[in-house]
Structure 1
Amino acid sequence: MALSKPVSEGVEQVIAQHYLMCGTADCKKNCQFYCNPCHHPMCEQCNDEHKQSPESKSHEVVVYRHRNRKLPVEKCRDHPSKDIDMICEDCQVLLCSKCAIHDHRGHIFADLETIYSKNYSLCLDEIRNIYQYFLPTIREMKRDIREDAKKLITFMDDLRALIKSEAESMKRLVDEVMSDKLEQVVKLEETLKDEIQSQYDTYKEYKGYLEDIYNRITGHMTFDKVQSNPILFSLSEHLKIKPIPETTKPIYPVFSAGQYSKDDFAYLFGNISTPDTLPEKRRIKPKETPPKRTLSLSSSVDIVKEYTVPSVKGAYYLSLDTFGGIWVSDNYGNLVHADQQGNQLQKILTNVGDEGYHSVTKSGDLIYTDSGNNTIKMITLDKKITEFMKIEKWTPLSIHSSNINGDILVGMSKGRTGKVTRYNSSGKEIQNRQRDSRSQGLYISYPRFITENINGDICISDYDKSAVVVLYKTGQHKFSYTGQGSKFRPFGICTDIVGHILVCDNESNTVHLLDHEGQFLLLLLTEEHGIYRPVSVCVDADNKLHVGQFNTNKVKVYELLE
């Protein structure tokens, strides 16, 4: 069953001529076509020969980008010599041809590879949507939220200033009222003092009056004549004394304190409230629906920019953060966080060398191996450094935090023996793989760099084995890639959003491009692209390839996918 019609000559090539190599042995021409039944990439000449061959002239050949994806090989449990390659639509079970004949006679079947290829393309489309729409949209909304956070600080500072101003105003009013009341007290005090002074003066005058009476009476008593003696005549008039004047006690004023509570005062002060209106929804940029297409390699590997990372002597390993910045390490233990304008944000000194020893987690923290102390450390977003977990008996070399599920992959060594251990995001060990469970053979020696592909495969750059070693998510060996004949010295490794594997070859000054099955596609970058001794690679959210080199702190950025 075919997804596309056979192509004729003149069909537009999807990938530029210098990218994909023909899969025919000893043919170094450019790949343009793909035979779906054979799963074989071909140049134009080999395609013509393929169509003329009696064995393959009826095969479906398509433009490379429209190819069917090769179904992973899995043997039937009941018929170990047969591959599972179809699905029974009546029973919804996967089966081989013998199962179909023996147990599902008369049922309707569908080709599993056709379904797989179709759904694989749908997955790539969704990955494209994630990277080209959802993640950029979320980044814009996060920027909007950060702006709101800044506005909130300013707004709340203004609100606090208004409250303090209102409090000062109320204090002034209280001071004015207090001043009026104190002035009233002074006036009342003066009035009462005048009344008391008046009463005091009354008794002072009455005392003078008594002193006069006393003097007259004593004078009469000493009168030595009989004639006109006041004691003998009109004595009653002289002994008549005026009564003591009556006075009253002062009435003191009373202060009646106002009867109010804190709530009464708060009511007078003013109220803080949130307006009873519905919050405005943040605008989510509508998803565009361009003509359906699949991400493919850019038609030309052009450098789009170059930036300098301060305080490092080389760009041995790169870890992109979640905000557009990058962590870069050299082989002298310098680990620097910088933006892509060359501004240094943070720097620490580690005791690690030229391995891929750091990775950014889904939450934005940086984790890195401390091989001198056999620990994994974490640098949080607020720049605090903590010990994340301790590694027993083995030395941690490389590390990768999964963008799929947050798991942490750690490449370790003991002597010249290597292994990969999987931890969950909390640091609990959940998988430990050193040997292939099928062959019991060692397949990892020195896992210098490690990453993960979109399908969960674990990709390792093993320096001692001079190979790229790829494991299934379960830890079983999938394939090893050892270069294209000449000496191969693999360094930094990464994957892109369509499952390509990119690895630096420090020996030939190139970056190799493989598909997820381990097939060599092309030398993506060579000295002609301006690189020398590449040691690190990573792909950003805009599908740009960042390349670090041994002898410079300049990072080159190339167009990768379109």
Structure 2
Amino acid sequence: MMDPRPSAQDVMRCDLCETAVVQMHCDTCLVNLCTACVGKHMISDQSINHKVVTIQSRKSTPLYPVCTSHAKEQCEMYCKHCDIPVCLSYIASKHHLSHELFKILQVVGEKKYMITKERNELNETIYPIYQDIASNVQNRISELQKEYGDLSTAITKHGEDWHREIDKLVKKLKAEVDEMKNTQLQTLQKHLDEINKNISDIKDEIDSIETAIDTNDLSKLLNVSSNAHTYRCLPNKIIPSLLKFIPGKMHQEELSKMFGVLSSSSSTSDKHGYSMKTTQKSPEAVSSPQVKQLLDEPETVTTIRTGYTKAGSSPPVKQLLDEPESVTTIDTVYSGILGGLYNVACLSDEEIWTSGTDNAMKLYSINQGSLLKSITTKSGNNPYDIAVTKSGDLVYTDYIDRTVNIVKNEKIEEVIRLQKWRPRGVCSTTSGDLLVIMDSNDNKQTKVVRYSGSTETQTIQFDDKGKPLYSYGPFYRYITENRNLDICVSDSEAKAVVVVNQAGKLRFRYTGHTLALKNKPFDPQGITTDSQGHILIANYNNDCVHMTDQDGQFLRYIECRLSVPYGLCTDTNDNLFVAQYGDRQVKKIKYLK
């Protein structure tokens, strides 16, 4: 007898009799039933509330959670206080008195709405973004492989160029050796020929005398004359001056510098690099420090009096720098009309460097307020800006001399000498590089250049549209690096702080806060950052310091009775040091808890 159930494309059969075609479904027990077996199933376990529906309506009845305390009872309510589903018996037992209860279907509905919304976001927004990120990373991998291939090719080509130049040098030296050898050989050969001729003549003389001695012919003997006196004066001795080859000493470090070096580079984790709005944030370069809250009111901790020339009643008159090529004009401006304190840089939590309108950079004790050391610039010019490196060395820019210099053990070394540019602000980065903002000789261009040692590794001058990032002209500009590796420049002519990321891409411009204290134009001068990524900008017009977050959002003013604030720096404890042009004092200010 043939099996009534075809083996191919079989229909659903009843789970009880396993023969009849399914027509019904128990949503409680999750079994398929034929109409004949429904009654049998309903009485099989009468303690359960069986919900039998047509096969087409299966899963339409919700499957409630089974109560853990009351076996076989379904939880149709949900306790928000306990965050658990509960059955009616559990509620009746007064275990959830005063607790907020909801129908579980309502809670599930809200849950379903939230996860559906998240599913849609995952499916429609996040998943495509991750696909784009993966594609971008893959493209970057391909680009990186090509770039490093090009780098290796460039090094190989440079090596081949060196080999060719060395081959040329070797060929030139060997040609000089051959030329000198031939000249000296010709001289010696000529000398040898002259001596051989004398030898031949002397032998003939000897033969002539012996013949005369042996003859009986007296007349011949009387006619013989000896020329021995001619040969008694011996010829000059010719001693060739032999060339020597003195090989140059090969020092690996110097040879590496001459050949070329690789600028420092590293892969950093870009915490804010990807965004749902595809707006790139600046990267977090280091682990997040302890979060510090702002003090309700900043307070002055100490005041250090410096010995710089008394400042005038007004801040620097910038128009006097219209002729940057004229050394006399600049010297007059710095040493005569202005006078005062400009810059401050923390050497440690106990000592600060300062500079002003003379050619001395002075080291002060913070706690004692005493002068510890004074260093005079190499050229005798006034330093434009100062900074301290990671190793504790003092760096300063000489605008007139076009140099960036470093002070090591009280000895000044020239690190960078510019040709058609003049350095203004300088800062030392976390990687040990130097960032220098500079003007062209004609005051029509401004750019930021990164140096690894004396090697230029990066130039930042234009935005994505090819427009200048910074204003130009004889105006003050200072620079610092934030903890997220952003590069922050205070541009007094533009009345703005310009912030770019590590790659040089513009992030934002901060143009001051609308509620200015004295309602004077925002004129940024000194600039610094702290461990929290805050940006602090000296605004000498309004005798205050502006504080923003790392994205340029204004946070507060720092006043503390400041008098024409110019230079700024922070120590490792996030204390702010303000160099005041007005009274030539440095104030140490606490503004974080």
Instruction: Give the TM-score taking structure 2 as reference length.
Output: 0.45
TM-score by length of 1: 0.47
